[in-house]
Amino acid sequence: MHILEAVILLMTLVVFSNVVDHFVPSVPVSLIQVVLGLGAALIMHVSIPLETDWFLLLFIAPLLFNDGRRFPKQELWKLRGPILANAIVLVFLTTILGGLMFHLIIPTMPFSVSFALAAILSPTDPVAVQSISKRAKLPEGILHIVSGESLINDASGLIAFKYAIAATVTGVFSIKAATLDFIYISIMGFISGLVIMALILLIENWLYRQGINDVIFSTVLQVTTPFVVYLVTEEFFHASGVIAVVAAGIIFHFYGTAPDRSQPELKLVSEKTWDIIIYTLNGIVFLILGIELPLATTNVIQNNQINTFGALGISLLAWFILLAIRVIWIYAYQAVSSIRSRKLKYLKTKQMPTFKAALLAGLSGVRGAVTMAGVLSIPMVVEDGSPFPSRSLALFVAAGVIIISLVVATITLPLISEDKAPLLTRANSGDDPDEIDGTPANDEGTTYISEDEARVYIMKLAVQRIEEERRPNNQKEAFDLILDYQFLIRRLELKLQDKKDMDSIISDELALRRVALRGERAAVQKLYDDQKISKQAFLIATAKLQRLENQMIRSIGHKVRLGHGTARNFAKLRNRISLWIIRHKTDEDISDELALIQREQAKAAISSLSDYFARDDIDNQRFDSQSVYHLIVRYRNQIELAKDHSKKQIKDQAMNYQSLRIKALAAEREGVQVLLEQGNIDWSMAAHLRQYINYSETVLIMDYQNQ
């Protein structure tokens, strides 16, 4: 397959995998991507030629730079000792012990390949680690350690992996030379990353002072930085580009955000750009894993010494070895730290035994994209041109360990946590991984409300503000904006309701809509009887009412009850097309008659609902207030839409709408502050809600500029 076609296919499958993940949230998206890649290889016979150099450059450099760029400052700095111990000592311990154990269970695999396999399996996915650790309610100290190590162990694991691969390719290994070489490539890689990043920041600041402060330019410069750092370090200094990009990312995190204070849009654009890059690269890595599986499986099946079931057993045993090493290390580290200092808060907690915390921290070690990108970069041949020994088996075992760690985490997560939210990885995190908690308790023991409940509250405040600002000259814009809010509120409230309450609300809503439709029919009939409309207009209006009633009966329990914005927009478009067809098919213009019908229908519907609620045999309390309000606003909006509007009125309407929207957003901000001060939400949730409001305001400004 041509490289361009392959890229388009991979991008399409990444998007499709996340669509599937939306409908099957219990399965990690990484597993879905592996399955899709496997299907592409088996059905479409897709193959991706892999070159070690470009593969590491394309995937490892941006992934690790992004990890360093988002390196938490305060918590991780306080625990730098245990974090570095886990990220460096544990990685090399895993490489040595794991390599020895792998060689014992796979005698045909050379020592150097065993060490390489253990090294590349040592890094953990940082987002998956936090996703599991937070929901498992690990003690705070352990949570910071396992979260911090996952941001650093990629570099140490890849260094050990590359050195083991080099030893296999060249066939030469010397402990003295290896030690000196390791010291050089590590220190020089670190220095190179610092120096190159410092130079880039100096150049960027100089350009900024010269007036070159374009947001797109700065974002592109930031995105290309990890590739420049990696290439310069590898090609010119022959040091570790992996350490260089991590160091560069950390330096950028500390010193590279100065222009953001005067260019807040740069922060917004760059963060979302990085989210797109990581989202795409991570997905492509797992798709390539699935594409490579048939080749690895075929070679394993054809191996006379190890059959397929034996390889599966080896993968499971390899995962267990890695888990045991990780759990024993964390348990031993806690025991030693407990002896040295009994004052550490997370060691004195009574919520979880020490061994259980170590076990959960061990299970949190999900392998991710860095592991897969590394193992896929194993060369096909060694220096003398012969095939790389046990390459297919190493690929098979690595893929097996990744899949097993994801599956085990998916199965155990619901068992060890009350939060049933799905496992997150780099592939579907998108937002800050620190915001993956559900509704934790605050310091006073009160449970925070959910994000959906908070959004309903602030949007109701916005509707209230719009009602207060409604005047005769902005009726249409006010009702239109309220209607938009009501659709969103309606969807969220139905989402929060349990099935029994939802069925009751839907049944009551159906009854109210039937009452309103009867009033509309009566109004159309009266207009025709009074000869205020023609027979053709009468037939069109009657047919439309019949279609609405049939559609309501069919879909009241599906789309209509959700008030889906897409369905509403489609209905508007369909009505406009119908009116256009009517104007061009008839000899006389009946648009004025249709507008009259629309106004009278809406007035009659509101009148019918008022009479219905005034009846003594009707219990008004049983009706959902939002359903009633939504219906009334819909008809009042219909009345305003039916009025004639000049060009000047249309321009004034746009200004009125923007003015009301700004006031509504201000009310939403005030609502967030109220929820925060009352202790209903935490600072993280407040920041998330404010970010959503800021996005809405940004879109409003862009729409105004594009008019």
Domain ranges of the chain: 3-130+139-376+392-417, 475-663
**What confidence tier does 436 reach under pLDDT thresholds 50, 70, 90?**
very low
Cα–Cα distance between 285 and 276 in angstroms, integer? 14
CB hemisphere CA count around 531 (13 angstroms)? 0
Helices in 646-682 by DSSP H: which ranges?
Answer: 647-677
Q: Of 316 and 240, which is predicted with more confidence?
A: 316
**What confidence tier does 69 reach under pLDDT thresholds 50, 70, 90?**
confident
Among 394, 353, 490, 442, which Cα is nearest to 118's?
394
Q: Of 74 and 42, which is predicted with more confidence?
A: 42
Residue 353 has pLDDT above 60, yes or no: no
Number of H helices, E strands in the chain: 30, 0
CB hemisphere CA count around 396 (13 angstroms)? 25
120 touches 82 (CB < 8 A): no
Residue 352: CB atoms within 10 A of its CB come to 17
Please list the residues that pair with 387 across neighbouring strands: 381
Cα–Cα distance between 522 and 409 in angstroms, integer? 61
pLDDT of residue 698: 77
Which of the listed ranges 345-349, 356-360, 578-582 does the model predict with the highest average pLDDT? 356-360
pLDDT of residue 555: 47
Q: Of 295 and 272, which is predicted with more confidence?
A: 272
Distances (CA, A) of 514 to 272, 478, 541, 634: 46, 26, 16, 15
pLDDT of residue 420: 53
Residue 78 has pLDDT above 50, yes or no: yes
Q: Of 200 and 503, which is predicted with more confidence?
A: 200
Residue 280: CB atoms within 10 A of its CB come to 16
363 touches 408 (CB < 8 A): yes
Among 161, 131, 143, 152, which Cα is nearest to 67's?
152
Among 198, 399, 243, which Cα is nearest to 312's?
399
Residue 48 has pLDDT above 60, yes or no: yes
**What confidence tier does 14 reach under pLDDT thresholds 50, 70, 90?**
very high
Q: Is the pTM of this model over 0.75?
A: no
CA-based R_g, the chain, Å: 31
Write the CB contacts of 55 (distance below 8 Å, at least 6 apart in sequence): 373, 376, 377
CATH class for the domain made up of 3-130+139-376+392-417: mainly alpha
Distances (CA, A) of 276 to 23, 131, 212, 426, 521: 21, 20, 25, 11, 51
pLDDT tens column, 166-198: 888 887 767 777 778 778 888 898 899 999 999
Cα–Cα distance between 30 and 46 in angstroms, integer? 19
Q: Which of 86-95, 122-131, 187-196, 263-272 has the lowest mean pLDDT?
A: 122-131
Sign of the dihedral defined by the CA atoms of residues 77, 78, 82, 86, in that order: negative
Residue 24 one-letter amino acid = V
Cα–Cα distance between 445 and 400 in angstroms, integer? 42
pLDDT of residue 419: 54
Write the CB contacts of 567 (distance below 8 Å, at least 6 apart in sequence): 559, 560
pLDDT tens column, 499-540: 556 566 667 777 777 888 888 888 888 888 888 888 888 888
Q: What is the mean pLDDT of residues 320-346?
A: 74
pLDDT of residue 427: 59
pLDDT tens column, 617-646: 776 666 666 667 767 777 777 777 666 554
Question: b/e string for 490-505 if b means 16 or more Cβ within 10 A?
Answer: bbbbbeeeeeeebeeb
Extract the tokens encoding 152: 């650093």
Write the CB contacts of 657 (distance below 8 Å, at least 6 apart in sequence): 477, 480, 481
Q: What is the largest CA-CA distance in the chain?
A: 104
Cα–Cα distance between 326 and 367 in angstroms, integer? 13
Give, in degrees to the nearest 5, the angle at Cα 135 between 133 and 139.
Answer: 55
Distances (CA, A) of 599 to 262, 431, 478, 603, 610: 51, 46, 17, 6, 17
Q: Which of 19-28, 299-308, 522-531, 656-665 has the lowest mean pLDDT?
A: 299-308
Cα–Cα distance between 311 and 108 in angstroms, integer? 12
Extract the tokens encoding 383: 């220096």
Q: Of 548 and 96, which is predicted with more confidence?
A: 96
Residue 350 has pLDDT above 50, yes or no: no
Extract the tokens encoding 104: 């014992």
Q: Of 605 and 52, which is predicted with more confidence?
A: 605
**What confidence tier does 64 reach under pLDDT thresholds 50, 70, 90?**
confident
Residue 346 has pLDDT above 50, yes or no: no
Cα–Cα distance between 219 and 270 in angstroms, integer? 5
pLDDT of residue 435: 42
pLDDT above 70: percentage of residues in the chain: 71
pLDDT above 90: percentage of residues in the chain: 10
The H or E element containing residue 497 is none
pLDDT tens column, 119-165: 888 887 665 555 555 555 555 556 656 666 666 677 778 788 888 88
pLDDT of residue 1: 59
DSSP secondary structure code for residue 139 in this structure? -
Q: What is the rounded average pLDDT for all residues in the chain? A: 76
CA 83 from centroid of its chain's CA atoms: 26
Number of residues that make up the chain? 707
